[in-house]
Structure formats: structure tokens, C-alpha cells
Chains A and B, each alone.
Chain A
Amino acid sequence: MESGFYGSSIKCKLEESGIPNTHAIMERVVRWFESRSIFVIAYGTGCGAIEMPPTFTSRYDAERMGVVGVATPRQADLMILSGYLAYKTLRRVIRTYEQMQKPKYIISLGSCPINGGMYWDSYNTIKKLDDYIPIDVAVTGCMPRPEAIIEGFVLLQERIKNGEKAGWEKYDKNLKFYKENQRRVLGDHTDPSYETDWYNLGGGDI
């Protein structure tokens, strides 16, 4: 994570009181808090959407781990893509993902986002989702049970806690790669980008 990204005022106070290595402590604390409050936008692209309600409601109750659903991408930390993506869906998903505020994560459900699944020979479905947007955790199965989805949450929480490199950082760094792939399947008819479009500006990698 970048230095000074979080809680700079508290960090300053800690530094004034003479505690060494304040930055690392602050980062750890903030990361722990972050891992415990994940707001989810559940994008039901395919059949996996049916696994979302039991995951979030009383049967499996993802809220006990701090995972709560929200209505709009601008309030969400995590997007769950449940199932196959047609080109038409992919266009909307990219737009939704770019509207989310950083830090942001993606969990994909099922085998379709990984290798096409049963839609491997469809003329209208993408096969490798991680070519177009970065996936943090891919939960396999067709469809994964709510237990598997919760295990995906736990894995993501561990990664946030350990400060591992997240998908959105990859997306920022390799924007050219992602935008090229998006243009390859969607043509030049992509929606206006919410990220800085280095590809069109001719900037290349950051």
C-alpha cells in the first residue's frame, strides 16, 4: 500500500508521542479494520446469482464476517461476478468496476469466468475474465455452494490483512494490457473510461 494512504492525522499524533515505526502499525490496524468491513455489490451475471441470497441472509449469514451488500458500485469495496459474461455484460461490468472507489476487489464465482465453462464455444461469451479486469479471488465450482463463497471471503480478508497486492493495483499498473484486451473483444464502442486512459493518451505503462 502507498504510504500515507490512510489515517494520516492519527499517524501524526502517534509520531508526536514518540512511538517508533508508526506507519507500519497504522497500516496494520487500518488493514485489519478494512478486512472486517467489506461492502459487496453482487453483480448477478449468470446462474450463480441464486447463491447470493442464502449467502447473505440468515442461513449462511455472511454479515457475521463483516460482509454486507450495498446497492451501488460507488459505495462498494467488493464486486462479486457470479457466472459467465457475455460481451454485452462485460461492457457494463467494466463500467461498474471503474466506478467503484479504491481499494476495490473482485470475486468471481464458478468456472465460467476462469475458462468459459459450458460456454467455451459460445460466440458471445468471454473465456478468460482476468484478461479484461483483475480478479482477486476465483471461487471454483458449478455453481459454488455458499460455504465456498464464504471461504472466498475469508481468503480475501486474509489477503487484505497481510497487505498483499490487490487487483486494483494491478489494473492501475497494467492499464494498457487490460484496455487492449477490452478493445479486442468490444471494439471501439467501449463506454467512457473512469480510469485515466493511458492507452488513448499514448502514455503506456505508468
Chain B
Amino acid sequence: MDLAAKLKKLSLTLEQKNNYLYKVVVKSEQLESLLLSFINEFDYITLDSINCRDDLEDGVFTITYCLQNRNRDHIVMIQTSIERENATLPTMHILWPQAEIMEREMHEMFGVNFPGHPSLIDFALEYWNDIPPMRRDFDTLEYVNKMNPFRGQRDDALDAKEEMKKRREAKKAAKLKAEQEAAAKEAQKVKTNTSEEVQR
């Protein structure tokens, strides 16, 4: 494969995940030139997605670019990791126009910066003033409880435990009563049967 030879020259390895998925791990300094050669030399014209993963323990964001060429028979994932603090990536919207909106979303959800990006404005969230919500150090539950507390109990709300206990006891009593009635009925039946036999 021509691509593998090129990557070998750059001392990178093309790792095959399955029969249509390949993976390359690069350093963040190499990323821009590698992506440029992928589209210019090897004709990877489609950028499927740009994904971001927050590796809080390592203090990095792991970014994955998924590319396809004209044959559409395999996907190459180009993976790199950048520092969490002041995370910056080169913008790819000139090579692939669809990258503009993906980068805009990543900027909003993870706080990654893209110098030279034409529209790093609010996307799905408006006037967000906390840390970006997809970062793992963002405490979603605490934020939700602060902004949107649960609806309180109704004034005439009953205690569930006591109500369940009452209901259980009532059920038990009803069952006992039914059993007693059935037993009494049976006893009467036997009585009538015996009396009939006596009559005969």
C-alpha cells in the first residue's frame, strides 16, 4: 500500500482494526501536515467526523479524525492527543468545509480553540457561562440541581411506606377472609352431602 509506505517514511504505523478500519496515531505537531498529505496525495476527500474524548487522568484530549477516500471502502482514523489546558488545534475548514461545524461544536462542548476559525460562536448552547459541559470535570448533576431543582411534593401527598403497609395488610386480611369463607362453604357442602346420604 502506497499509504503505508508514506507513513513508514514518517515513522508512523498504519494499524488495521478490522477489514475496513485503519488507525494512525500521530503527534499533535505532525497532525496538520499529515492531514494535508492525506487529502492532497492520497485523495481522502471526505471527513466523516472529528471526535473528542476527555482523558482526564492523563490530562489530554484525544482527538480522532475519520477520513474516507473516493472508493469508500475503508475509513482511516487519525488520532492525536493535545493538552487539556489551553487546548488548541489547527482548523481544517479550508480542506473540508464540513469541519467548520464540527469544530464549532467541539469548541462549545470541550472548550478546544481553533485559531483562524471563521465562526466560533454559540452553537447549541446560548450564553453558556460555566466550564464546557462535555468536559469530565463538569459536574452535571450539581449544575442541574442548582439550575433546575426537582418539583416538590404535593401538599396532600401520602407517605408511600405507610400506604403500602396498609394496602398489604388489607390484602392479607381479604385473602384470609376468602380462605375462611371457602373453608366454611366446603364444610357446608360436605354436611349436605352426608345428610343426603343419610336420607337415602
Q: What is A's interface to B at a CB cutoff of 8 Å?
A: 86-88, 91, 114-116, 120-128, 184-187, 189
Contact = CB atoms under 8 A, between A and B. Distances in A.
Contacts of B144: 120-123
12 contacts: A88-B124, A116-B148, A121-B140, A121-B144, A122-B140, A123-B140, A124-B124, A127-B148, A127-B149, A128-B151, A185-B147, A187-B127
B126 A91 contact: yes
Contacts of B147: 123, 184-185
Contacts of B133: 123-124
A87 B127 CA distance: 10
Contact of B150 (A88, A122, A127, A184): A127
A2 B133 CA distance: 48
Interface of B is mostly: loop
A58 B129 CA distance: 47
A121 B144 CA distance: 6
A80 B143 CA distance: 29
B122 to A, nearest CB: 9
Contacts of A127: 148-151
Nearest to A122: B144
B151 A189 contact: no
Q: Is the interface on chain B under 10, 10 to 19, 20 to 34, or 35 or more residues?
A: 10 to 19
Contact of A121 (B125, B127, B141): B141
Given A121-B140, A124-B133, A189 B148 contact: no
A184 B146 CA distance: 10
Interface of B: 124-127, 129, 133, 138, 140-141, 143-144, 147-151
A46 to B, nearest CB: 15
Contacts of B129: 187
Contacts of B148: 116, 125-128, 185
A87 B141 contact: no
Contacts of B151: 114-115, 127-128
A47 B18 CA distance: 37
A115 B141 contact: no
B131 to A, nearest CB: 11
B25 to A, nearest CB: 32
Contacts of B124: 86, 88, 124
A34 B133 CA distance: 46
Contact of B126 (A87, A114, A184): A87
Given A115-B151, A127-B150, A88 B125 contact: yes
A189 B150 contact: no
Contact of A115 (B125, B138, B150): B150
Nearest to B127: A189
